[in-house]
Homo-oligomer: A and B are copies of this chain.
Amino acid sequence: MFSKACQYAIRAVLYIATQSEQGRRTSLKDISKEIDSPEAFTAKILQQLSKNSILLSIKGPNGGFEIPDETMKRVKLIEIVRIIDGDQLFTGCALGLKACNEEKPCPLHNQFLGIRTNIHQLLENTTIKKLVNDLELGLTFLKR
């Protein structure tokens, strides 16, 4: 469904967001520890997100990553997915034909359309902020 890179991206963003909410900037080291991800690989992903204005990166001592409150209210999951995985999930064909295409549909097209719509809506309607609350209440988790 999502690539590992994308899963790390979402987990990282959510962790940074919980910290930012409490006024704490967080370092790569912390992040990869708290979401249980490979550090250097995570760095690459955060770089991409930062280039795409999903988060802020600050170099130097006490540097790290932050997400402004405005940003976590604005940014939807779908943006993160698009940045990391592209939009194959939304435009691709379930059975691997060149692209999903209503005119010449694959045998799963009709049944798949509903699922795709569900996924799209979920990602389109979910902001970072929305997910942060449950995390802070300890109702959901970023690692086990």
Contacts and interface: CB of A to CB of B under 8 A. Distances in A.
A122 interface: yes
Copies of the protein in its oligomer = 2
Nearest to A9: B95
A2 B115 CA distance: 14
A106 B1 contact: no
Q: Classify chain A's interface size.
A: 35 or more
A96 B8 contact: yes
A101 interface: yes
A83 to B, nearest CB: 16
Interface string A110-144: 01101100110010001000010011000111111
A16 to B, nearest CB: 13
